[in-house]
Amino acid sequence: MGKLDCLVISDGSLIVPPPPGAAPDTMGEEMEVLSLLIDNGRQKVLIDTGCGEKFTGTDTGKLVMNLKAAGISCDEVEVIVFTHGHIDHCAGTFDKNGKAVFPRARYITARTEWKCWVDKKERKELQMIFGPARQDLLPIPEQFHLAEEGEEILPGIILTTAPGHTPGSAILKIHSDGQNITCVGDLVHSAREFDKPDYYSFLDVDPALAIESRNRIFSDLARSGEMAFVCHFPFPGLGHMVKKDGRWVWKQATQG
């Protein structure tokens, strides 16, 4: 993409349970856990680190293996940007023994997201999914840059926030030579949310605000025609948001 080499890396997949109150026979939905590696020619930047070794009982923890398969070693990654602090986006930063998986990396997240980790104001049932961020990342503030709204955190990468899923959920606009990709993190988890916007709202700190942010960002993407990268959509999670007959539709990008 322009002067950037961008590579989607899979950490595997997990089963997300249906909402509380769903019919007893409702099956959980399988979702991908995807990260994005950006090589700008000077440094390699990784967006999110997946589940790692700490999220047991899932078919995840494959990020490092897949990086190696692509010829990339962990010590080549110099910057890690966290879209937000949920377990499936940051638990892969440290291994089960507390050792940094990417030993040379420094970290970036939104200042409002960091404040959320510190304040612990979310509903009690959501506190577990912030566990790795609070256990592993809060103790090392000296390794973090806390980004302000609209900041160009790295050349060609602008961070804005779309609060609701978490207070500081990041939207990353990646651009080079007139080409653009927008990483939307967990702004949407599943195509189910196009028909039932509140289907996975039990995972949101502020469900109403999450839907408002989703519609705002989707409208921007549809208007601009920019490609989106969605962390939990089917691999490679790249496509476009369009509106058809009053509802959002995902058009996955074709390869080749």
pLDDT in tens, 68-91: 999 999 999 999 999 999 999 999
d(CA 150, CA 147): 8
Contacts of 246 (CB under 8 A, 6+ apart): none
Across residues 158-181, what is the average pLDDT?
A: 97
Judge contact between 131 and 177, C-beta under 8 A.
Answer: no
Across residues 96-113, what is the average pLDDT?
A: 97
pLDDT at 98 over 60: yes
Look at residue 74 in the predicted model and tell me its pLDDT. Answer: 98
Pairing of strands 29-39, 44-47: antiparallel
The order of strands in the sheet holding 157-161 is 151-154, 157-161, 170-176, 179-183, 227-229, 238-244, 247-252
Tell me how far CA of residue 156 lies from CA of 2, 52, 104, 163, 248, in angstroms. Answer: 10, 28, 21, 22, 28
Judge contact between 76 and 47, C-beta under 8 A.
Answer: no
Give residue 185's identity as a one-letter amino acid code. G
- How would you class 41 by CB atoms within 10 Å of its CB: exposed for 0-12, middle for 13-18, buried for 19 or more? exposed
Look at residue 57 in the predicted model and tell me its pLDDT. Answer: 66
For residue 256, name the pLDDT band (cuts at 50, 70, 90).
very low
Express each pLDDT in 198-252 by its tens digit: 999 999 999 999 999 999 999 999 999 999 999 999 999 999 999 998 899 999 9
Across residues 150-173, what is the average pLDDT?
A: 97
Look at residue 246 in the predicted model and tell me its pLDDT. Answer: 87
Its pTM stands at 0.96
Judge contact between 59 and 66, C-beta under 8 A.
Answer: no
pLDDT at 56 over 80: no
